[in-house]
Amino acid sequence: MTPTTWPEPFPDPVARPADEPFWQSVQAHRMALQKCAGCGHVRYPAAAHCPQCLSEAATWQQIAGTAELVSWCTFHRQYLPAFPPPHTVAVGRLAEGPLFVAMLLDGAPPDGAAGRALSIDYVTDPEGRVLPAFRQHPAGRDAKEEETQ
C-alpha cells in the first residue's frame, strides 16, 4: 500500500514525557495505548496512574485500529498552516474504549453518519513525522450499495 502523505509539516504535539511511547508506536505504524495492569482500563492520553484504580502498573498495547464515528467538525477558516480549509476532524470511539481525535482523510460525512465504522491509517508529513488518521472505508461501501439497490 502506498503511504499517505501530507503536504505541510504537522504542528508539534504538546510536550508530555508520558506520551513518548505513544508517539514512538505511531511512528512505527503500530499505534499503542496504555493498558492498566491493575484493572485492564485502557487510557488516553497517557498518564502515570490509572484514573480508575490509581495503579501505576501499565503496559502498552497495540490497538486493533478500528473505531466508531462519534462526531466531527469541518474547519472553513484556516487556523494552522498545515490545514487549509475545508479540513475535517473526527472523534471516534476506539474498539479499546477511549475516544480518539484525528483528521478524517476522506472528507466531511453527511448528517446521520454517527456510528459509521472508521479505521486508523497513518499519514506522513514532509519531515517524516507520522500521525494516525481516520478513514471511513465503509462509507464508500455504503455509497456503492446504495447505488446498486
Cross-strand partners of 63: none
**Cβ-based burial of 84 (10 A; exposed 0-12, middle 13-18, buried ≥19):** exposed
Only segment of 33-41, 56-64, 111-119, 140-148 that touches other proteins (CB under 8 A): 111-119
Does 83 bind other proteins (CB under 8 A)? Our answer is yes
Select 24 or 144, whichever has its Cβ closest to other proteins: 24
> Between residue 114 and residue 133, which ones bind other proteins under the rule CB under 8 A?
114, 131, 133
Does 103 bind Zn ion (CB under 5 A)? Our answer is no
Among 41, 42, 70, 138, binds other proteins (CB under 8 A): 70
Per-residue cell: 138: 465503509
Cis peptide bond prior to 86, omega within 30° of 0: yes
**Pairwise CA distance, residues 54 & 48, whole Å:** 9
- Per partner kind, with CB cut-offs from 5 to 8 A, the member of other proteins, Zn ion, none near residue 42 is none
Taking a C-beta distance cutoff of 8 angstroms, is the pair 74, 88 a contact? yes
> Between residue 35 and residue 94, which ones bind Zn ion under the rule CB under 5 A?
36, 38-39, 41, 50, 52-53, 55
Does 48 bind other proteins (CB under 8 A)? Our answer is no
Per-residue cell: 91: 472523534
Nearest approach, Cβ of 56 to Zn ion (angstroms)?
Answer: 10
